[in-house]
Amino acid sequence: MEVVMNGITAAVMATPRRAARVAVGAKSRRFPSGAAVFAATVFVMAVFAAMVPAQAQQAQLPPERGVIVIGEGSVSVPPDYARIRSGVTTRAKTAKEATDTNTKAMAVITAMLLGAGIEQKDIQTSRFSVQPIYVSQQSNTEQKLSGFSVSNQVNVTIRQIDKVGEILDRLVTTGATDVGNVEFLHSDPSKALDQTREAAVADARRKAELYARASGLSLGGVSWITEDSRYAAPMPMTALRASAAMAAPVPIAGGEDTLHVRITVGFDMAH
């Protein structure tokens, strides 16, 4: 009987896997069958009795009180500078001839930009390419080299935003063959975004207070905040191919851009 009680004590104190080994060990020692069944029964009852209070205690834990809301804020601000892309594309029988013609045309355009008040640091080459031009006289014949195309494109930053239309007009009259991709931008959007963030937080708090009041609870402090800082960025205008029809002054309106911020806020709640 002493051996049986030792086996029972070991089964109760051990984990289920270890207790199984104890039961096997008891069988290998040739315990009487009644004693082995009694030991296993006591073990199962002990494990069950230990699990029930733990589960009951876990079920009695109070759920976390809180509310999660989305806050949004927006502000409209006018752009303070613009960027355009312009350049010249030339064609000739040889690459050298096409390049020389292109270089002379770009020199005239650059001089015009500098004379219009654009600083040298605001004129940046964005693309330069020399490409062969092939033609095929018949569909089944091999293509034949007919010449070369040279393209030189620059990005021009215009700090005086009211001169955008004038610069576009002068680019066309000076000889630019490619003009367009007008972008209206902001030199420091962070200040406007900060105002937008404050508006988003105020919007989130207003919603949370409404839910708390409707639920008969009191709103606590902010537990956490996450931000989705995507906002409406300036959209570039469609590229325009320069032509004689653009000789008239180009009407350009900068308008305003709307910056938008969306946040998710978690608030604590209390009775």
**How would DSSP label each residue in 214-247?**
HHT-EEEEEEEEEEE----PPPPPPPEE--GGGG
Query: What pLDDT score was predicted for residue 22?
Result: 39
Query: What pLDDT score was predicted for residue 252?
Result: 66
The structural domains of the chain, with segments of one domain joined by +, span 2-59, 66-76+190-232+262-270, 81-185
Query: What pLDDT score was predicted for residue 198?
Result: 95
Number of CB atoms found within 10 A of residue 108's CB: 13
Query: What pLDDT score was predicted for residue 38?
Result: 54
The topology (CATH level 3) of 81-185 is Alpha-Beta Plaits (3.30.70)
Q: Are 260 and 232 in contact (CB under 8 A)?
A: yes
Query: What pLDDT score was predicted for residue 16?
Result: 44
29 burial class (0-12, 13-18, 19+ CB within 10 angstroms)? exposed
Query: What pLDDT score was predicted for residue 46?
Result: 54
Instruction: State which residues of the chain have pLDDT below 70.
Output: 1-64, 229-254, 271
